[in-house]
Amino acid sequence: MKIINFAIVNRLDEGDDMKYAIFVIDMLKEFIEGSIPAKDAKTIIPNIKTIVEKAHDKSVPVFYLCDAHEEGDPELKIWGPHAMKGSEGAKVVDELTPKSNDIVIEKKTYTGFFNTPLDEKLKELGVSSIIMTGIHTHICVQHSAADAFYRGYDIIVIEDATAAATDVSHKQGLETMKSLYGAKIMKTEEVLRLFK
Ligand code: ZN
């Protein structure tokens, strides 16, 4: 895991003092071509790539939240072994391989905040608003959004840069994050316009 301290986090212009970070959640081989695939996982890759490249351009920090399971993780009882630490399935898809300044958070359950340094890193960087991408919308994206909400972060979810196993699950996830956590549901194009 490579951890980089950013001296400066760009303020992006949304007319306020928002300091953004991007989350790329579980865009791992396991969830795209492995045992627990998300239906539109392949089709959202270009949108995530566009967002990440823009973020790199503007020195907005990019966090990759990645399953890296070990024997005994409670979730394995539900889903069976998947994205096991060090396996091929636990690797980020080639198109989105993290760059040296990106921060990779290995997680053991749905949320990226549980027993990880994620919150501490976000606070170090002064992040106030998290832009969510990745899979699955109603599982790891939604649970990471819940934890972000509990900790006081504003949340944006990019609807065409997230995906789930079915359209129903995708929509349910978006609706839950909107109604319970006050998430703004936006499209890739709209989010790019925040990055002036
Ligand atoms: Zn998992």
Mean pLDDT over 18-44 rounds to: 91
Say if residue 189 is exposed, middle or buried (CB neighbours under 10 Å; 0-12, 13-18, 19+). Answer: exposed
Q: Examine the pLDDT at 1 and tell me if it is beyond 70.
A: no
Give the total number of structural domains in the chain.
1
131 with 158: CB under 8 angstroms?
yes
Q: How many whole angstroms from 84 Cα to the centroid of ligand 1?
A: 8
Mean pLDDT over 20-41 rounds to: 91
Q: How many whole angstroms from 78 Cα to the centroid of ligand 1?
A: 9
- With cut-offs at 50, 70 and 90, classify the pLDDT of residue 4: very low
Q: How many whole angstroms from 108 Cα to the centroid of ligand 1?
A: 7
Written as six digits, the tokens of 174 are 């978006």
In this prediction the pTM is 0.91
| Residue listed under structure tokens 């990880």 | 116
Q: How many whole angstroms from 194 Cα to the centroid of ligand 1?
A: 31
129 with 19: CB under 8 angstroms?
yes
Q: Examine the pLDDT at 196 and tell me if it is beyond 80.
A: no
117-147 pLDDT per residue, tens: 999 999 999 999 999 999 999 999 999 999 9
pLDDT at 195: 83
Q: How many whole angstroms from 134 Cα to the centroid of ligand 1?
A: 13
Q: For the chain, what is the mean pLDDT?
A: 91
The CATH number of residue 94's host domain is 3.40.50.850
Mean pLDDT over 20-40 rounds to: 91
Q: How many whole angstroms from 7 Cα to the centroid of ligand 1?
A: 32
Question: Which residues sit with Cβ closer than 5 angstroms to ligand 1, an ion?
Answer: 67, 75
Written as six digits, the tokens of 177 are 């994050």
Q: How many whole angstroms from 192 Cα to the centroid of ligand 1?
A: 29
Q: How many whole angstroms from 105 Cα to the centroid of ligand 1?
A: 13
CA distance 117 to 105: 8
Q: How many whole angstroms from 82 Cα to the centroid of ligand 1?
A: 6
Instruction: Report CA-CA distances (Å) from 49 to 55, 75, 76, 96, 178.
Output: 10, 29, 29, 6, 24
145-177 pLDDT per residue, tens: 999 999 999 999 999 999 999 999 999 999 999
Lowest mean pLDDT among 7-16, 167-176, 185-194: 7-16
111 with 147: CB under 8 angstroms?
yes
Q: How many whole angstroms from 44 Cα to the centroid of ligand 1?
A: 20
Determine the structural domain holding residue 103 and report its residue range. Answer: 2-192
